[in-house]
Amino acid sequence: MKPERPLAVKFFRTAAGNEPVREWLKSLPSAERHAIGEDLLTIQFAWPVGKPLVDHLGDGLWEVRSRLSHRIARTLFTVVDNEIVVLHGFIKKTQKTPAHELALARQRQRQYSSDHD
């Protein structure tokens, strides 16, 4: 059975009620926010999506690979019950995704799963 379109997008929320990815997006210039938003919109309507836009990082963790004007952004997410849960976002500065960025996303993924079981 195909999921309903579009899939809902939820931002990970901390126990204190903060939404770190939404806050990160708000800190970016408007054009960059727009580019990342367009990529998320594509995923909402076309999931599952593969490379070059989306890459699987293992254990249900995915990354949106957004090309901005002079840099690259990564938005890490998981899909739970036909909802895209955006866990973490950062500007990529090295070839390989830094271990601490992955660790933070995985921690949030585990927290989200335990909060919604």
Whether the model clears a pTM of 0.75, i.e. scores above it, the answer is yes
Q: Residue 22: which domain range?
A: 8-115
| 2 belongs to a structural domain | no
The total of structural domains in the chain comes to 1
- Residue 89: which H helix or E strand, with range? strand 83-92
Token pair in block for residue 117:
């079981």
61 vs 75: CA distance, rounded Å: 10
Provide the residue-wise pLDDT of the chain in tens; the chain has 117 residues. 566 779 999 999 999 999 999 999 999 999 999 999 999 999 999 999 999 999 999 999 999 999 999 999 999 999 999 899 999 999 999 888 899 999 999 999 999 999 887
Indicate which CATH number applies to the domain containing 95: 3.30.2310.20
Q: What are phi and psi of 83, to 5 degrees?
A: -125, 135
